[in-house]
């Protein structure tokens, strides 16, 4: 699934630094490579390469599918899978 990062809800300096370093900041596109529910992890392809994050971190990053228009946000949870 291709997504565009819309917003980061955790504004702590440490998390924002992680987001910038990982290519997960607003405006960037990511591809969800896999979701491992047993490990509570999401693997994403970003402009910086492959990044695996925990579902707790993923829940702090709001995104929307690239193929959607703004009116379809109600039909899709706007958070990274987690």
The predicted structure's pLDDT at residue 71: 45
Q: What is the pLDDT of residues 5-16, one digit of tens each?
A: 999 999 999 999
Phi, psi at residue 66, to the nearest 5°?
Answer: -65, -35
By the 8 A CB rule, do 23 and 46 touch? yes
Rounded Cα distance, 13 and 81, in Å? 23
What's the N-to-C CA distance of the chain in angstroms? 13
Q: Which tokens go with 30?
A: 């990511």
| pTM for the model | 0.77
Looking up tokens 């992680």 gives: 18
By the 8 A CB rule, do 41 and 25 touch? no
By the 8 A CB rule, do 12 and 76 touch? no
Looking up tokens 């291709």 gives: 2
Q: Is the pLDDT of residue 82 over 90?
A: no
The predicted structure's pLDDT at residue 80: 61
Q: What is the pLDDT of residues 12-52, one digit of tens each?
A: 999 999 999 999 999 999 999 999 999 999 999 999 999 99
């Amino acid at each position: 699934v291709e997504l565009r990062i819309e917003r980061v809800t955790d504004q702590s300096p440490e998390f924002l630094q992680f987001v910038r370093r990982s290519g997960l900041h607003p405006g960037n596109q990511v591809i969800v490579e896999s979701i491992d529910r047993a490990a509570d992890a999401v693997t994403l392809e970003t402009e910086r390469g492959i990044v695996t994050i925990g579902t707790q971190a993923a829940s702090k990053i709001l995104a929307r599918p690239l193929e959607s228009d703004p009116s379809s946000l109600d039909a899709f949870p706007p958070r990274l899978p987690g």
